[in-house]
Amino acid sequence: MPTIANFYGILVYMYKEENEPHSKPHVHARFGGDELSIASDGEVLAGKLPRKQQKIVEAWVAIREDEINAAWMALNDSGEVIRIKGLEG
């Protein structure tokens, strides 16, 4: 599970899909013991985070949609992990 971003205590990572990709591009975000799966288009696929952290992740996804899609393609095509800038600083 390669980590692609880490900001405001939120860990964002992406799984390489085995065989053929079956899902749309998405990331997993973890904060404390909570986890959220969210697509690059902003659709929440599963789980939830505390409200404040979920809003932060949703904003990050909206800003970084193209980068998430590129990272998804790189990871699933060649195994390359591309880090994406967070929201801090």
pLDDT tens readout for residues 57-74: 999 999 999 999 999 999
| pLDDT, tens digit, 9 for 90 and up, residues 26-40 | 999 999 999 999 999
Please give the share of the chain, as a percent, with pLDDT higher than 90: 79
Once rounded to an integer, what is the mean pLDDT over residues 40-44? 96
Per-residue pLDDT at 8: 96
pLDDT digits (tens, 9 = 90+) for 71-80: 999 998 899 9
Question: SS3 for 11?
Answer: strand
Per-position b or e across 38-53, b if 16+ CB within 10 A of its CB: bbbeeebeeeebeeeb
Q: What is the pLDDT of residue 43?
A: 96
Q: Which residues pair with 68 in a beta bridge?
A: none
